[in-house]
Amino acid sequence: MIEHWPAMLAAYGAGSLPFGAWIARLRGVDITKVGSGNIGATNVHRTLGLGPALVVLALDVAKGLAPAWYGRAQDGVLLGLALGVCAMLGHCFSPFLRFRGGKGIATGLGLLLGADPQVALIALGLFLVTVGASRWISLGSIVASLSLSASAWALGRPAAAVVLYLAMGLFAAYRHRSNVARILSGTEPRFRLRPSSRQG
């Protein structure tokens, strides 16, 4: 795996591009200082509306999908996952934002679509069901992320992939710890196609 370090570095660089922050800046908004302060599509939606959020979502998914697809094409699922994880870490710890960033869910979806589409579709289905029932994007993200290792095991993926998926799920849950606190306190905003004035 170490021989692929140039591709891993390139994947990290691609993932570190903070599209949410840049698109918000074009609208005169510092997205890190409004709403939840997150650079992802959910906070962009609450702050700027559906159109900009969809653009951010597509770009964040793409920067995980491209490295993962390339890695899988070169050397199978494990390399695809490795490059995709590098992109996701770039998104979460971007040098453009002093090594801060988003929570990695959209980029994580991209890496799954590129490296392991079956696991991706299971996670996406659980996300949609959870959000449909609760209208909490954050809860759907946590449930989907924590499902990865079980799905990989059920589908007969290599042990290394199952362990990596478990680490990804726990990492995503940790990144959402503030959302969990707001869900428990009843202050977590629920998803609406037309954002309300309430931020979080």
Q: Please state, in angstroms and rounded to a whole number, the distance separating the CA atoms of residues 73 and 139.
A: 32
Per the DSSP assignment, residues forming a β-bridge with 100 are: 94
Q: What does the block give as tokens for 78?
A: 């494990």
Q: Please state, in angstroms and rounded to a whole number, the distance separating the CA atoms of residues 193 and 180.
A: 22
Query: Considering just the CA atoms, what is the radius of gyration of the chain in Å?
Result: 16
Q: Which helix (H) or strand (E) holds 82?
A: helix 77-92
- For 100, list phi and psi in degrees, rounded to 5: -110, 175
| Residue 197, pLDDT score | 46
| Residue 135, pLDDT score | 94
pTM summary value: 0.90
User: For the chain (length 200 residues), average pLDDT per consecutive 10?
Assistant: 86 97 95 91 92 96 97 94 96 96 95 97 97 95 97 96 96 94 93 60
Residue with token string 């090594």: 99
